A and B are shown apart, each in its own frame.
Chain A
């Protein structure tokens, strides 16, 4: 009886229903909590590029409140024009723009979120612009946020993440040690040409100028990935930067 084909068919069918039901139930029940976790993760990463969240010791809800207070976001296209609705007329939320998905599209069709870090006392003033970046490391994707000052001249801070760079080598891009090297570096040269910031090969290089940062020993290829990522995204945002830095930053902020 236990070995008959009918029994096996009924058994496996019943098992499929039970297991499938169980999993979809779990997925439904945990969905909201998962969504919140992802939201918190994104917003923490955005804030981490302008402040040291870890030492501030904030809990989940506080991070979200802080984010709502200090960040005003918008989405621009490759020409630096603000886009507010997608093809279907639905409003676009910058936080929901999937950078990884956009990365696969032609830059002309992509959406580029801009997160504006507002001044603490005067909330119409912009302290920094935070731009998402995305690219390929040695083994898999690397991503992060770069914060630029309100004239798009200097890097205020960066926060990088990676999927699976080599621990102890390329994975160091996620550490403060590497990220702090970018602070104060300039992305435009004196004539206003975009030059980006490049990580050099090898570690312990002395006398680097304002467009170069010290490299990571043993992780030259990850460093190259970071360089390409920064260069690409600075060029995508260039028109927006030129447009915005020219006008009054306070005026653009009050538009929102």
Chain B
């Protein structure tokens, strides 16, 4: 008996590197953060930026792209360096990697999309303190292989992105009567649609986010312990 289990274990060790390119486990790395383990609605991280930049769709989209970029590359870089990073300074190393990527994003925005830079300026810088990014580095990239970390970054990034885009959609629709600057209500003939001032305020984001969390939890049955 005991030799059999030992053999099984040996087999597993040998099989492990042959894992499919997109195995079930790897798919879960991407899909879990989208719904069941969403960084915003379940882990309740990154709320600050979810409130601050979701007044309109366009800046939200740029912010989403920036966060996905930062989180994916930070995960990849830290994972590649994970065996070199001295344990005692790992947080500083993580921070330096994130800060470098964020500064790069901010500089590129400033050069090629100055309008967006003016709107998002301060908040792009605040990606550095977005707990989602650092949380993934510390919890995942420090102990996993580069490819898995990249997938994990994609999952968390998109999990963050779709939530803030949904919030921004409702806030812009009811707050400004438009979607991506396109006046929806005027297009369908409702010229004097009363926009809701609460929606352009952070309070609107809290409400939309609250409803979103409610809907999601009633479906997944997730309960906080």
Contact = CB atoms under 8 A, between A and B. Distances in A.
Given A11-B84, A19-B96, A168-B197, A37 B111 contact: yes
Nearest to B118: A41
Interface in A1-43: 2-3, 7-8, 11-12, 15-16, 19, 22-23, 26-27, 30, 33-34, 37-38, 40-41
B112 A37 contact: yes
Contact of A34 (B93, B104, B110, B175): B110
B103 interface: yes
Interface residues of A, number: 25
Contact of A23 (B84, B97, B103, B118): B103
Nearest to A217: B197
Interface string B191-213: 00000010011000000000000
Contact of A33 (B86, B87, B111, B115): B111
A22 B54 CA distance: 31
B32 to A, nearest CB: 31
Contact of A15 (B96, B175, B197): B96
A41 B114 contact: yes
A167 interface: yes
Contacts, number: 63
A12 B115 CA distance: 36
A203 to B, nearest CB: 13
Contacts of B87: 2-3
A3 B86 contact: yes
* 10 shortest interchain CB distances as A-B pairs: A168-B200, A33-B111, A37-B114, A30-B111, A34-B111, A167-B200, A8-B86, A19-B100, A34-B110, A30-B107
B100 A30 contact: no
Contacts of B86: 2-3, 7-8, 11
Nearest to A39: B114
A7 B93 CA distance: 14
A15 B93 CA distance: 8
Nearest to B171: A167
Nearest to A41: B114
